[in-house]
Amino acid sequence: MAQQAYVTDTDSGGSGPERRESGPRRLMNRLRKSRLGAGLLSGDRGVWRRGIVLAALAVILALVMLLHAQIPNTIGNLGSLTETFLPWLGLFVPVLLLLALVRRSATALITVLIPALVWLNLFGGQLTDKTGTGGDLTVATHNVNADNTDPSGTARDVASSGADVVALEELTATAVPTYENALASTYKYHSVQGTVGLWSKYPLSGVKPVDIKLGWIRAMRATVTTPSGQVAVYVAHLPSVRVKVEAGFTARQRDKSADALGEAIADEPLERVVLLGDLNGTMNDRALNAVTAQMRSTQGASGSGMGFSWPASFPMARIDQIMVRGVEPESSWTLPETGSDHLPVAARVKVDTSS
């Protein structure tokens, strides 16, 4: 009787009448079975000729993300609108990838890598956890919403964060006493200037409104004397941007106020500065350059994830900011939803940077 020859698969530790496929061989077989792979392996030029439109779209997407600062604001403030939602452009990458596979286009498939790499270069760092464990001062900011139906609950939620200093924006005259009563037991010192307020566990001095060219008070400045030293704390609520049918995305007043806020911070005599507030713009928005050029975002330096804060029900943009100069950000996070249409944001910073 003839003996049947067996080949032993030493990699898997088993044996059988058929040789088990190695990893590379299995990959090649799967590639051959796919229509795109079959076209590549057979030398079909169609896989390179197809999908030119998809490839062009991928290049355009990469250019928009890479050159967003060059998109003009002269028409409907289009540049700032693009920069506000810039991270979301990355969603087009998997869509283009899927279409390239459906179209069986090697050209489109390779070209889609370009916007993917651009997006990772711009925002990949925010996907890593940069949260530290140090810091000697915790700060928080929250646009509480003028239409908030539960101001006392919102105040308790913010106080429970453990923040040493809390800034609130969009305060109404009727709601201010409620916030003052709800926060009194946690924060010994506070000041309300117009529609913004600052609550602190540490003494306040040098409190004054900041003129951001609106005709009424929506920004303030105070010196907070912490155990680690004095810090100039600014609270600001820049005007909202608007989308108008006849003018598109308009933000002229917001931009003017941002410039005024930037000038005030540039003139600040104290070395250590913290800015808390609703800036109605992201760190990518060129309209905030007067502020962002001289300060660091705690989210970008010490956060984890994008840290979107608005709208609270489905956050799509980080327009509530905590920015610093002369102090070191250690960690940054968003707080749970309150009765507002914004999420509160908090950060822990190191005031004493000498050690």
pLDDT at 353: 82
Tokens encoding 98: 């899927």
Domain shared by 91 and 135, yes or no: no
Over residues 50-95, the pLDDT tens digits come to: 889 999 999 999 999 999 999 988 777 788 889 989 999 999 999 9
From 126, 146, 167, give the residue that closes a domain: 126
Domain total in the chain: 2
pLDDT at 331: 94
- The number of CA neighbours under 13 Å toward the Cβ of 25 is 4
Over residues 13-32, the pLDDT tens digits come to: 444 444 555 666 665 565 45
Return the bridge partners of 189, or none.
200
pLDDT at 11: 46
pLDDT at 247: 44
Residue 6 lies in a domain: no
Residue 299 and residue 257 in contact, taking contact as beta carbons nearer than 8 Å: no
Domain shared by 214 and 326, yes or no: yes
- Secondary structure letter of residue 317 according to DSSP: B
Over residues 251-305, the pLDDT tens digits come to: 788 889 999 999 999 999 999 999 999 999 999 999 999 999 999 999 987 787 8
Domain shared by 122 and 134, yes or no: no
pLDDT at 252: 80
What number of other Cβ atoms are within 10 A of residue 98's Cβ? 11
Domain shared by 215 and 312, yes or no: yes
From 126, 149, 178, give the residue that closes a domain: 126
Domain shared by 92 and 221, yes or no: no
Least confident among 96-100, 102-106, 255-259, 330-334? 102-106
The mean pLDDT of the chain is: 87
Least confident among 40-44, 107-111, 165-169? 40-44
For residue 143, is pLDDT > 70? yes
CATH of residue 189: 3.60.10.10
Residue 319 and residue 310 in contact, taking contact as beta carbons nearer than 8 Å: yes
From 86, 111, 126, give the residue that closes a domain: 126
Rounded average pLDDT over 139-166: 96
Phi-psi sector, 194: left (phi>0), alpha (psi -120 to 50), beta: left
For residue 4, is pLDDT > 60? no
Domain shared by 281 and 335, yes or no: yes
Question: Where in the sequence is the domain holding 311, given as residue range(s)?
Answer: 130-350
pLDDT at 29: 62
Q: Which residue has the higher pLDDT, 26 or 12?
A: 26
Rounded average pLDDT over 213-226: 97
The amino acid that residue 101 corresponds to is L
pTM: 0.81
- C-alpha separations of 91 from 21, 36, 56, 169 in Å: 36, 24, 17, 32
Over residues 302-353, the pLDDT tens digits come to: 787 899 999 999 999 999 999 999 999 999 999 999 999 999 999 999 999 8
179/319 Cα distance (integer angstroms): 23
187/198 Cα distance (integer angstroms): 10
11/271 Cα distance (integer angstroms): 64
Rounded average pLDDT over 173-190: 97
15/90 Cα distance (integer angstroms): 47
Share of the chain above pLDDT 90, in %: 70
Rounded average pLDDT over 172-180: 97
For residue 136, is pLDDT > 80? yes
Nearest partner of 327 among 245, 241, 259, 229, judged by Cα: 229
74/329 Cα distance (integer angstroms): 36
